[in-house]
Amino acid sequence: MDEKIFESIMQGLNEALEYERGNLPGVKVDKITVSPLRMYSGEDVKIIRNNNNMTQRLFAEALGVSAKTVEAWEAGTNTPSGVARRMLELMANDNGLFERNSIITRQ
């Protein structure tokens, strides 16, 4: 099994080298860009939380952070980092995201 994995990796690397050398014409190439992470102020975080009808505690639990972290974000004493910023972006763009994905359920 290990030899098959090694051969597959080597084949991929060799194909990448051949492509870079221009020896693989007609190869389909997808260029993908990732949008830069947006900065969120304390007010931004609060607006996103309120638009999703969540308390600080529920918001924190849904994001996997402490309630103190959310409180610090909203007070502006701390700022969200990488993954949290991306999650805030997703929540800002889609208010029902957590409910549709069963991260939270309302009864």
Note the pLDDT tens digit of each residue in 18-45.
888 888 888 787 889 999 999 999 999 9
CA dist 105 and 107 (Å) reads 7
CA dist 32 and 14 (Å) reads 22
Please report, for the chain, the start and end positions of each structural domain, with discontinuous segments joined by +.
1-32, 42-100
**Cβ neighbours around 107 below 10 Å, total:** 2
**Whole-prediction pTM:** 0.73
Arch. (CATH architecture) of 42-100: Orthogonal Bundle (1.10)
Note the pLDDT tens digit of each residue in 68-101.
999 999 999 999 999 999 999 999 999 999 999 9
Q: Tokens 């529920």 label which residue? A: 58
